[in-house]
Amino acid sequence: MTIYEKYGGYDTIYNAIFDLYEQMCDHPEIAQHFIGVDLERLITLQTQFVSRALGGPVEYKGKPIGRAHAPLHITDFQYDEISKCFTRIFTKHGFENEDLLVIKNLLFNLRKEIVTSKTNILDIIFKPLYKFIAYFEEILRKRGSLDES
């Protein structure tokens, strides 16, 4: 059984990808990439891509990944933030750790095709802030006062 089949197929992947884009559109570092974009089309293409990568019988009808992302000038930092969103959302949708590792490996293997810029002004502004937030969340988690939902 493929990961695609294990979690219910296209609809499950679509719902996770929909939630992913909802989260990315609210992310201060990533949201600018979606201004003026047909999100429904993008969510459908991403669902096709992920479904295919997870063993589904779905045809991906988009551009090659590198070509699709090249004009966005995505940085390593942005890529890492998107990867974190992916993990959070797929965890929320019930994906088990071993299957999340497969998804993380998929993302890792695409990094060279997607990341085309070293840094930008938003990275310089937000990176220290995110490190501080992660540090503060870890303290709260250790105290048991951080709600993981």
Rounded Cα gap, residues 111 and 122, in angstroms: 19
In a domain, 27, yes or no: yes
Q: At residue 1, does pLDDT exceed 90?
A: yes
Which pLDDT tens digit goes with each residue over 60-103? 999 998 898 888 889 888 898 899 999 999 999 999 999 999 98
**0.85 cut: is pTM over it?**
no
Residue numbers of the domain that contains 110: 3-117
Quote the mean pLDDT of the chain. 87
CATH number, domain containing residue 105: 1.10.490.10
| Structural domain total, the chain | 1
Confidence class for position 38, pLDDT limits 50, 70, 90: very high
Range list of H helices, 54-120: 65-69, 76-92, 97-114
Which amino acid is present at 76?
Answer: D
Q: What percent of the chain has pLDDT over 70?
A: 90
Q: Is residue 131 part of a domain?
A: no
Identity of the residue numbered 72: L
Residue 143 lies in a domain: no
Contact present, 90 and 103 (Cβ < 8 Å): yes
CA–CA gap between residue 97 and residue 37 (Å, rounded): 32
